[in-house]
Structure 1
């Protein structure tokens, strides 16, 4: 007993040291940001830039800590690769996405939520954006500490809106743009869920429902990777190089198609050799999805960086422009390179220091994932976020990933429910006393494809239309078992908790930003 207490004490001390190290590293990063901002300001503007850059760095770290699970959490939950490997993939591609393709959404975030021209002087815009950064960062930090999965995009958009209303009134809000953004919040999880379910359904139909699953996987996996390479390369050209006159949409699509065909050829050759030694089981086929899952996690991380860096850099860019030029945010103006660097590195620092906590929960709390399901979640999420980034919409990656996970979970419920209904139909029409015939049919039924199962049931119904005993279980018993199994596939308690967090994020951030606007306006000189 004494040794157990000592061990628990040692673990607590080690945990305390880890917290101290994380706090110290994050503090040093923010001090470095202060010095960087100070070199780009002068006079009163220097103090404002330092305050804004520090708040943006704090916000970026919270984005990295909270949203990293959206990129690699499903893969870690499926045990496709280690936590350290997941952190490395997410850090590299998140930062690359922020630096290469993040500016388009920043333009919408810094000047699309409110009408800055309605403010009487640039100083008030600085107060609004500074209050928004602080309010959203504090709320995300509190929610993360409480284990609440909130959206960083919801938080910053609500905070900008709340600060703007406090400064001028409701008419300052760009309501048509807000309407489109709110609509994207509703559409994005649904779209993510539909795309993820479509990927999983395709994988099940083309691989796991085939008699020779290993051979089917060797045919399908290279095609999946080729499609992913096409999408990712096209996105890189459109978003990363799209400002160059020589880079057209046609060129981007052609280069993407070339990358997809090349990837298909290379992966097909490699998978064909390795697949010979894979067992013809679902567990063996899952091994083939490790490489696609790593690729999908990289795509999702890049898309996340391109979209969510705006949550920290958008308000900072508006402040930098107002302090530098003494005017509004300057729609279409180039975002300062050092501001982009603060946002990108802040996401990476928050990811490395605080990300592992959230990764361990998002990967297993909603539904059980394996490699194929996690791949479907990652691809559905990546495609949704990429589409949103191309349209310049600041969607919530948290909503998208949760929607994708739920899409996979609900598809499994539907397919298993359909299977269960077919088995019940079989039991209701087959003689119960003929146990040998039942066992023989069940064996053929379990090995058949979905179309084969339906055909077997149709033939069975035609052969036994009268004189049959009822099913072995009562109707209420079958319903109770189905409900219990559904609860196991998608955990409704976690879903309700997530929905509650989504509902309160915007009003809490807006009210906090409105209060901070008045505090900042009273504390800082005009």
Structure 2
């Protein structure tokens, strides 16, 4: 009997070892599965673009076959770039909510992915136009037949640089990368005359202003929440008065920008929809808040309960704004590639060029969403927890401040760096906390230097790392694009 028990125990141990080995094998294959899904997406986009482009007619001529091959290469690089942007920039929208614990990582990634596609499809045209015409002389590139190789070089350089940054865990600016790719490719083809330096300076000015604006707005929102809600004698009534209104205002402004801008509706229609959407969002947020307050009873409600829905709405708004602004990083160079391909194909034979705008938009929006789902979790964890600890109040302020700045930039057609804006908001909130902490402890005995350094809220090492990545992104991507552009010529 004892021998039989020993045999069963040995069998159990062996089975446990096999189960552990099987689980380890599944875990080791997960990165390969993610990469396989990404490759499948790129392949589907290439097949779809090639099928549409082959509509030039049966029996394609040599120029037409070359154009289809160019389109396929451009769509492949554009889809790859969109995947890397989604993986790198998903931290912009989701880090505050995940870092505060308001939403789970998987649910947040799925929600943000849908909002990214909506932003790219509904509101991505204005910024794309600015990028296409504001950095290089696109008319000259198209006239001389150099647009396709130059933009292929720009896409490849930007995608490689963003991919390297994502693997290193550095949230670099994808906008900087593609702008550097544009400039480097133009320099390689025509030299200094190909770059629109005035337009480049205007875009760069937005890079300086936008993170500062996000930091100031986020810090200001935190000051309002602290003074009007946290320190109010009746925090329940104060929360009902301020929180739904804040979310409603930002949502209504974003809806008004979409309706009056990309959708081209008159101001009266835009203002009316802004009012209706704002009222609906405020009512929904107030109803949700009342349920949370009722569940808390007579006790003081937890911040996570009060700010859960506002944080999720803020993340959705940020993701929509990111899709509207950063999808242009893909559609702008791809649009020039498609225009160059159309120029050398069926038009000469009297055949209308096919419309590939839908394929380009799907490659951009779908790539952003899929990159966020497959590879975005690492930077979400870094930005949301390692730069500065975000509780629901601070995360709410970062989300609304960032969404407001990016929506305003998209309305103006300005290709700002959403990474700049989001991290600027996080820094603004962290520095405000330090200032408030010093003011509150002014009369206390000073702590030792080592303890003060340990308690520093904003992690200086991560600040230096991110700033260094930002500083080298533009010249690095420009150099890569110049190298690839010279090779492709």
Compute the TM-score of the two structures, normalised by the length of structure 2.
Answer: 0.88
Cα offset, 1:217, TM superposition: 1.5
2:188 corresponds to which residue? 166
Tell me whether 1:408 sits opposite 2:429 in the alignment: yes
Q: Which runs of 5+ in 2 are unaligned?
A: 1-12, 54-63, 346-354
2:56 corresponds to which residue? none
d(CA) in 2 for partners of 1:405 and 1:248? Answer: 36
Tell me whether 1:420 sits opposite 2:441 in the alignment: yes
> Would you say the 8 A contact 1:213–1:280 is kept in 2?
no
> Would you say the 8 A contact 1:114–1:172 is kept in 2?
yes
2:218 corresponds to which residue? 196
Q: 1:316 aligns with which of 311, 334, 342?
A: 334
For 1:270-309, list aligned pairs within 5 A: 270-278=288-296, 284-309=302-327
Tell me whether 1:502 sits opposite 2:474 in the alignment: no
For 1:11-410, list aligned pairs within 5 A: 13-41=25-53, 42-119=64-141, 121-242=143-264, 247-278=265-296, 284-326=302-344, 336-410=357-431
For 1:421-440, list aligned pairs within 5 A: 421=442, 423-424=443-444
Call closer, same or farther: CA 1:64–1:208 in 2, change over 3 Å.
same
- Secondary structure of the corresponding residue to residue 219 of structure 1: helix
Cα offset, 1:207, TM superposition: 1.0
Cα offset, 1:10, TM superposition: 6.1
Cα offset, 1:279, TM superposition: 6.7
> Would you say the 8 A contact 2:255–2:277 is kept in 1?
yes
> Would you say the 8 A contact 2:292–2:305 is kept in 1?
no
Cα offset, 1:252, TM superposition: 1.0
State which drifts further: 199-208 or 110-119. 110-119
Count, aligned residues: 457
Show CA shifts across 1:126-145 (max 9, x none): 11100000010011111111
Show CA shifts across 1:100-139 (max 9, x none): 0001111111222111234484431111100000010011
d(CA) in 2 for partners of 1:281 and 1:400? Answer: 37
d(CA) in 1 for partners of 2:365 and 2:458? Answer: 34
d(CA) in 2 for partners of 1:277 and 1:120? Answer: 63
Tell me whether 1:514 sits opposite 2:482 in the alignment: yes
Cα offset, 1:226, TM superposition: 2.3
1:467 corresponds to which residue? none
Cα offset, 1:260, TM superposition: 1.4
d(CA) in 1 for partners of 2:134 and 2:436? Answer: 43
d(CA) in 1 for partners of 2:356 and 2:385? Answer: 38
d(CA) in 2 for partners of 1:18 and 1:386? Answer: 35
d(CA) in 1 for partners of 2:300 and 2:203? Answer: 41
Call closer, same or farther: CA 1:7–1:375 in 2, change over 3 Å.
farther
Cα offset, 1:15, TM superposition: 3.3
State which drifts further: 37-46 or 172-181. 37-46
Call closer, same or farther: CA 1:253–1:479 in 2, change over 3 Å.
farther
d(CA) in 1 for partners of 2:409 and 2:165? Answer: 25
> Would you say the 8 A contact 1:97–1:303 is kept in 2?
yes
d(CA) in 2 for partners of 1:272 and 1:216? Answer: 12
State which drifts further: 279-288 or 392-401. 279-288
Q: Which has the higher contact order (CA 8 A, sep 6+)?
A: 2
Over the residues paired in the alignment, what is the CA RMSD in angstroms?
A: 2.4
Compute the TM-score of the two structures, normalised by the length of structure 1.
Answer: 0.82
